[in-house]
Amino acid sequence: MERSMAYERDLNLKATELRLGLPGSDEPEKPSTTPSVRSNKRASPEISEESRSKGSSCVSSKVESGERDSAPPAKEQVVGWPPIRSYRKNCLRAKKNDQVDGAGMYVKVSVDGAPYLRKIDLKVYKSYPELLETLENMFKLTIGEYSEKEGYNGSDFAPTYEDKDGDWMLVGDVPWDMFISSCKRLRIMKGSEARGLSC
Amino acid sequence: MLRKASSFPEEMLEHVLSFITSDKDRNAVSLVCKSWYEIERWCRKRIFVGNCYAVRPEMVIRRFPELRSVELKGKPHFADFDLVPDGWGGCVYPWIAALATAYPLLEEIKLKRMVVSDESLEVIAKSFKNFKVLVLSSCEGFSTDGLAAVAANCRNLRGLDLRESEVDDPSGQWLSRFPDSFTSLASLNISCLGAEVSFSALERLVGRCPDLKTLRLNHAVPLDKLANLLRGAPQLVELGTGAYSAELQPDVFSNLAGAFSGCKELRSLSGFWNVFPGYLPAVYPVCSGLTSLNLRDANIQGADLIKLVSQCRSLQRLWVLDYIEDIGLEELAACCKDLTELRVFPSDPYGAEPNVSLTERGLVSVSEGCPKLQSVLYFCRQMTNAALVTIAKNSPRMTCFRLCIIEPRAPDYQTLQPLDLGFGAIVENCKDLRRLSLSGLLTDRVFEYIGTYAKKLEMLSVAFAGDSDLGLHHVLSGCEKLCKLEIRDCPFGDNALLANAAKLETMRSLWMSSCSVSFRACKLLGQKMPRLNVEVIDERGPPDLRPENCPVEKLYIYRTIAGPRFDMPGFVWTMNGDSV
Domain B8-44 belongs in CATH node 1.20.1280.50: yes
Question: Is the pLDDT confidence value at A12 over 80?
Answer: no
DSSP string, B403-415: EEESSTT---TTT
Q: Do B81 and A78 touch (CB under 8 A)?
A: no
| Residue B565, helix vs strand vs coil | coil
| Residue B416: alpha-carbon gap to chain centroid | 34
CA dist., res. B99 & res. B323, Å (int): 46
> Is A91 an interface residue toward B (CB < 8 Å)?
yes
Q: Where in chain B are the domains?
A: 8-44, 506-579
Shortest CA distance from A118: residue in chain B: B86
Listed residue (B475, B474, B445, B469) closest to B457, CA to CA = B475
Q: Taking residues A170-179, what's their average pLDDT? A: 88
DSSP code for B6: G
Largest Cα separation within chain A, whole Å, is 53
B551 with B515: CB under 8 angstroms?
A: yes
Asked if A115 reaches chain B (Cβ–Cβ under 8 Å), the answer is no
Residue of B80, B345, B352 lying closest to A75 (CB–CB): B352
pLDDT at residue A14, rounded to an integer: 53
Residue of chain B nearest A98, judged by CA positions: B351
Chain A: give the shortest CA distance to residue B81, in Å.
4
pLDDT at A103: 54
List the 6-65 stretch of A: residues with Cβ below 8 A of B.
Answer: none
Contact residues on chain A for B219, CB-CB shorter than 8 A: 166
What pLDDT does A98 receive? 33
For chain B of 580 residues, list the mean pLDDT of each consecutive stretch of 10: 64 91 93 94 96 98 97 97 94 98 98 97 97 97 95 97 88 89 97 89 96 95 93 97 88 94 97 91 96 95 94 97 96 97 95 93 98 98 98 98 97 97 98 98 98 98 97 98 98 96 97 97 95 95 92 97 94 77
The angle at the Cα of B16, spanning B15 to B21, to the nearest 5 degrees, equals 105
- What is the overall mean pLDDT for chain A? 64
Indicate yes or no: CB of B488 within 8 angstroms of CB of A80: yes
- Cis peptide before B371, with omega less than 30 degrees from 0? no
- CB A193: neighbour CB atoms within 10 A? 11
Assess: ipTM above 0.85.
yes
Tell me if chain B has a CB within 8 Å of the CB of A103: yes
Give the Cα separation of A148 and A145 in Å (integer): 10
**Cβ-based contacts of B404 with chain A (< 8 Å):** 82-83
pLDDT value of position A102: 45
Q: Give residue B247's pLDDT.
A: 81
> Cα distance from A103 to chain B (closest Cα, Å)?
9
| Backbone dihedral region for residue B274 (phi beyond 0: left; psi -120 to 50: alpha; all else: beta) | left
Question: Do B69 and B47 touch, CB atoms closer than 8 A?
Answer: yes
What pTM did the predictor assign? 0.78
Q: Is the dihedral of CA B237, B238, B242, B244 positive or negative?
A: positive
Q: List, as one string, the DSSP characters of B306-332.
A: HHHHHT-TT--EEEEEGGGHHHHHHHH
B569 touches chain A (CB under 8 A): no
- The C-alpha atoms of residue B317 and residue B270 are separated, in whole angstroms, by 11
Using CA atoms, how far residue B102 sits from A150, B58, B123, B303, in Å, is 57, 9, 13, 57
Q: What is the pLDDT, as a whole number, of residue A151?
A: 81
**Cα B521 from Cα B355, distance rounded (Å):** 45
- The reported pLDDT for the residue numbered A18 is 53
| Contact at CB, A82 and B406, closer than 8 angstroms | yes
Q: Is the Cβ–Cβ distance between B185 and B203 less than 8 Å?
A: no
Query: Which among B77, B78, B81, B381 is the top mutation candidate for probing chain A, defined by the most A β-carbons within 10 Å of its own β-carbon?
Result: B81
Strand partners, B91: B115
3-state secondary structure of B487: strand
Say which residues have a Cβ less than 8 Å from residue B471's Cβ, sequence separation at least 6: B443, B444, B446, B447, B465, B490, B492, B496
Would the CB atoms of A82 and B404 count as touching at under 8 Å?
Answer: yes
Select the residue of B78, B219, B408 nearest A78 (Cβ to Cβ).
Answer: B408
Task: Give residue B237's identity as a one-letter amino acid code.
Answer: V
B459-463/B484-488 β-pairing: parallel
| Among A74, A79, A95, beta carbon nearest to B82 | A79
Instruction: Determine whether the interchain pair A86/B80 forms a contact, defined as Cβ–Cβ distance below 8 Å.
Output: yes
A114 reaches B (C-beta below 8 A): no
Q: Taking a contact as any Cβ pair under 8 Å apart, which residues of chain A between 139 and 168 contact chain B?
A: 162, 166
Smallest Cβ–Cβ distance between A99 and the set B82, B350, B488 belongs to B350
Q: Reduced to 3 states, what is the DSSP secondary structure of residue B305? A: helix
For residue B377, give the 3-state DSSP assignment: strand
Rounded Cα distance between B185 and B156, Å, is 8
Test A92 with B220 for CB contact under 8 angstroms: no
DSSP string spanning B71-97?
EEE-S-GGGGGT-S-TT---B-HHHHH
Interface of A with B in 63-82 (CB under 8 A): 74-75, 77-82
Q: Does A92 touch chain B (CB under 8 A)?
A: yes
Q: Is B377 an 8 Å CB contact of chain A?
A: no
Chain B residues inside the 8 Å CB shell of A187: 170
In the stretch 150-169 of chain B, residues with CB closer than 8 A to chain A read 164, 166, 168
**C-alpha angle with apex B185: B180 to B189, nearest 5 degrees?**
115
- The C-alpha atoms of residue B370 and residue B340 are separated, in whole angstroms, by 8
For residue B178, CA distances in Å to B153, B385, B394 come to 8, 55, 51
More confident residue, B203 or A70: B203
What is the model's pLDDT at position A139?
85
Q: Residue A96: is its pLDDT beyond 90? A: no
Strands B554-559 and B509-513: antiparallel
Are the beta carbons of B194 and A184 separated by less than 8 Å?
yes
